[in-house]
Amino acid sequence: MTACSIAWEGLPAFGTATVAQFWVALEQPGPWGREALTESHLDPALGRAVGDEAAAAGGRVLLMRAPGHHAVEEGFASRRVFVAGGLAGDPWLLEGVALAPDAVLRLPWDDLAVGDRDAVLAACPWLRPARHPVLLVCTNSKRDVCCALRGRPVVQDVTARYPGQVWECSHTGGHRFAPTGVVLPLGQLLARLTPGLAAQVLDAAASGQLAAAALTPAHDRGRSHLPPAWQAAESWVRAEAGITDPAALWCEPDPEEHTVVVRHVDGRGWAVRVRPREGGPLPDSCGKAPKPSAWFAVEPRG
């Protein structure tokens, strides 16, 4: 059977980012099951509670582990944590070490939902502004084999050049685009990562920018704070105009069906048609039966 990410090669990734207004990444070494938050050596009650709280506030929690370090660790001990928010405006990233499970459970979810960095810092003195962006690459093999087979080589290649900035992570969605990842604090989800692209993404993010090489239908799944059609519209404009500033664009609804208006801070605007398209049957995950493939067709409104 053809691997799902091989079968999907050539199809666009625009508009496929997981929708999340903020991201929390919690370190958890050892193996992960299909549902990583409740199927790892993390207390499943804690994983379920943290995941539910984040989801209720419009965010997403991932597990992460250091590249190549999969030793089993029982109990909570101490865990590295990254928290990214403010995605629709001025994205920010916090990092810290949680010494007890209740530190993670007591994250101020409502403040995260509205991107209030100062309130998060006040509520969690164990967090501090991160010095560098991070790239989380999905390697959750129990969710999809492609993620591990294609994601781990990217992580292993890049991690030596960016110590502490590249982590394996649990399911980000879209394994048919493996290797997949999310760059924080920008909230951009990436498809078909390569070591070279991963390096460019981290270099650009260090200056608060999106990597120009990642703004293509092959690689840009979208920024997670937007709904799918708006993700696709914004990604199309960025690719056409070469706009790497994450804060330069915003989207507005348009009365015409399947149309999104993308505005630029300099006054420019684009009316973009975003239509769902369906193609031949393809597996969207390894081991699953093929079903009609789907993507967004994006073009300027004539």
Say whether pLDDT at 3 is over 90: no
Tell me the C-alpha to C-alpha distance, in Å, between residue 213 and each of 67, 138, 205, 238, 271: 24, 20, 12, 11, 24
Structure tokens at 190: 């990436």
- 167 part of a folded domain: yes
pLDDT tens for residues 129-178?
999 999 999 886 555 565 566 767 888 999 999 999 999 999 888 778 88
Burial class of 261 by CB neighbour count within 10 A (0 to 12, 13 to 18, 19+): middle
| Domain encompassing residue 175 | 1-226
At 38, which CATH number? Answer: 3.40.30.10
In a domain, 293, yes or no: no
DSSP state of 177: G
Q: d(Cα 234, Cα 240) in Å, to the nearest integer?
A: 10
Q: What angle do CA 292, 62, 233 make, to 5 degrees?
A: 50
- Residue at 165 is within a domain: yes
3-state SS string over 198-256? HHHHHHHHCCCCCCHHHCCCCCEEEECCCCHHHHHHHHHHHHHHCCCCCCCEEEEECCC
pLDDT band at residue 287 under the 50/70/90 scheme: low
Q: Which amino acid is at 231?
A: Q
Burial class from Cβ neighbours inside 10 Å (0-12, 13-18, 19+) for residue 293 reads middle
Is 220 in contact with 188 (CB distance < 8 Å)? yes
**Mean pLDDT (whole number) for 187-216:** 97
Cα 79 from Cα 144, distance rounded (Å) = 25
What confidence score (pLDDT) does residue 173 get? 82
Structural domain includes residue 252: no
Is residue 237 included in any domain, yes or no? no
In a domain, 287, yes or no: no
Average pLDDT over residues 35-42: 85
Cβ contacts of 302 within 8 Å, gap of 6 or more: none
Query: What pLDDT does 236 receive?
Result: 98
User: pLDDT (tens digit, 9 = 90+) per residue, 248-260?
Assistant: 999 999 999 999 9
Q: Per-residue pLDDT tens for 222-279?
A: 999 999 999 999 999 999 999 999 999 999 999 999 999 999 999 999 999 999 998 8
Predicted pLDDT of residue 36:
79
Instruction: Using a pLDDT cut of 70, give the percent of the chain over it.
Output: 88
Model's pTM, two decimal places?
A: 0.93
- pLDDT band at 70; cut points 50, 70, 90: low
Q: Give domain status of residue 239, yes or no.
A: no
Contact present, 137 and 151 (Cβ < 8 Å): yes
Number of domains comprising the chain: 1
Residue 254 lies in a domain: no
Q: What is the pLDDT of residue 8?
A: 56
CA dist 108 → 6, 25, 95, 112, 195 (Å) = 41, 15, 15, 6, 35
Q: Reply yes or no on whether the pLDDT at 56 is more than 60.
A: yes
Contacts 24+ apart (CB under 8 A), 193-199: 193/137, 193/151, 193/154, 193/219, 194/154, 195/153, 195/154, 195/157, 195/158, 198/135, 198/137, 198/154, 198/157, 198/158, 198/166, 199/158, 199/161, 199/162
